[in-house]
Amino acid sequence: MPKAIIVGAGIGGLATAVAFIRQGWDVEVLERAPRIREVGAGLSVWPNGLRALAALGLADAVPARESGSAGIRDTDGHWLSRSDVALFRSKYGLPQMMHRAELHEVLRAAVPESVLRTGITVTRAHPDGTVEHSAGTSAGEVIVGADGIRSAVRRAVCGVIEPRYSGYVTWRMVVTPTEPVGEIAEIWGTGERFGYGVLHDGRVYCFAVANKAAGSEDGGLGELRRRFADWPAPVPALVAAATEEDLLKHEIYDLPALKTYVAERIALVGDAAHAMTPNLGQGACQALEDAVVLARIAAEGNGLARYDAERVRRTQMIRVRSRQIGAIAQLSWRPAVAVRNAVMRRLPAEAQAKTAAAVLDWQP
């Protein structure tokens, strides 16, 4: 039985483990943390990601809520764009809102405990299929680097690659609303954004984004409330419902373009290969796609080369598009913001749906 060594037990690593197990492989997962857990907030899993989950046999396993009406407003509360829900449903299906920790737990539960090794720090991966780590060495027919944006495995594929700062930070939280929130929406301002969506249990996942220099002091919940206190409803109420314990703050980085994700027996997946900004909600979706594709063709004679050919072009397109959307959303020069808003108001819903095809119209 061929063996896959998977470095990292985040969403991408666990999904890859599930995919290889379903293909009949022996699997060993190496995770640096002493305990496998996810502390994130919410996320949207788009139709392409939902198809990948279905290919893993987990289509209905994650508690989720289908997103209905969606759109973007300005800070006066006026709509800049609205999605045609019926059109999206007919062409692609609708995204589902879920808690990141619940998705992670479903994936973890699908992997036998016997293959999970925690507290293991990988120091070096070799293209011949061996991995050096804090407990010794492991070897397999395929080594999968699923160890995130600062991947140790990636060095064996393309040397040292430094992540790039986007120019903005995000605060994420899940709150219990004090009033009904019936839609998934974003509000775009001048160098700031706020978005929200309802989870299956009625709680609301929120994110706020602001332009800030890397390493800037974090003002915590007080800063968040000052920035968004006078924004349109339901933003002030959602921020007021948050506590410091709810808040997760991150500087947003992505990776520059990689020309390849493979080196002999090594393959990269997820953020280790194509860490992207969250503006399209595709980070987890692309990791799920990677897992399905890699496990399906890895046993073939040229399987890793085919994986590379299939995944590099697609994921790099999405990574670039996500960064571009972020640059537009985070415009801070008021004349440019005015032009952006005017253009968005005139963009037909049909054009939005057509633009989404390259990302959403993926089949396992």
- CATH class in words for 3-64+100-163+254-331: alpha beta
Q: What is the 3-state secondary structure (H, E, C) of the chain?
A: CCEEEEECCCHHHHHHHHHHHHCCCEEEEEECCCCCCCCCCEEEECHHHHHHHHHCCCCCCCCCEECCCEEEEECCCCEEEECCHHHHHHHCCCCEEEEHHHHHHHHHHCCCHHHEEECCCEEEEECCCEEEECCEEEECCEEEECCCCCCCCCHHHHCCCCCEEEEEEEEEEEECCCCCCCCEEEEECCCEEEEEEECCCCCEEEEEEEECCCCCCCCHHHHHHHHHCCCCCCHHHHHHCCCHHHCEEEEEEECCCCCCCEECCEEECCHHHHCCCHHHCCHHHHHHHHHHHHHHHCCCCCHHHHHHHHHHHHHHHHHHHHHHHHHHHCCCCHHHHHHHHHHHHHCCHHHHHHHHHHHHCCCC
Q: What is the pTM of this model?
A: 0.97
- Average pLDDT over every residue of 277-293: 98
Query: Is the model's pLDDT at 240 over the cut of 90?
Result: yes
Are the beta carbons of 125 and 156 closer than 8 angstroms?
yes
Q: What is the pLDDT of residue 353?
A: 82
pLDDT value of residue 268: 99
Q: Judge contact between 303 and 30, C-beta under 8 A.
A: no
Q: Looking at the predicted structure, is the pLDDT value of residue 39 above 80? A: no
pLDDT of residue 351: 84
Overall average pLDDT of the 149-177 stretch: 97
Over range 270-287, report the average pLDDT. Answer: 98
Q: Where are the domains of the chain?
A: 3-64+100-163+254-331
Indicate the average pLDDT of the chain. 95
Query: Does residue 68 register a pLDDT over 80?
Result: no
Query: At residue 159, does pLDDT exceed 80?
Result: yes
pLDDT of residue 312: 99
> Residue range 337-348: average pLDDT?
96
Residue 40's pLDDT is 79
Q: Which two tokens stand for residue 314?
A: 């697609």
pLDDT at 69 over 80: no
pLDDT digits (tens, 9 = 90+) for 192-224: 999 999 999 999 999 999 999 999 988 899 999
CA dihedral 258, 263, 268, 273 (to 10 degrees): -10
pLDDT at 211: 98
Helix 303-329, helix 283-297: angle, nearest 10: 170
Q: How long is the chain?
A: 364
Looking at residue 87, its pLDDT comes to 84
Residue 67 has pLDDT above 90, yes or no: no
pLDDT per position as a tens digit, 78-111: 999 998 888 888 889 889 999 999 999 999 999 9
Average pLDDT over residues 18-35: 98
What is the reported pLDDT for 354?
85
Residue pair 147/122 in contact by the 8 Å Cβ criterion: yes
Give the amino acid at 344.
M
Q: With cut-offs at 50, 70 and 90, classify the pLDDT of residue 38.
A: confident
Provide mean pLDDT across the span 310-319.
98
Residue 306 burial by CB count (10 A; 0-12/13-18/19+): exposed, middle or buried? middle
Q: Distance (Å, rounded) from C-alpha 298 to C-alpha 285?
A: 20
- Does residue 35 contact residue 19 with C-beta atoms inside 8 Å? no
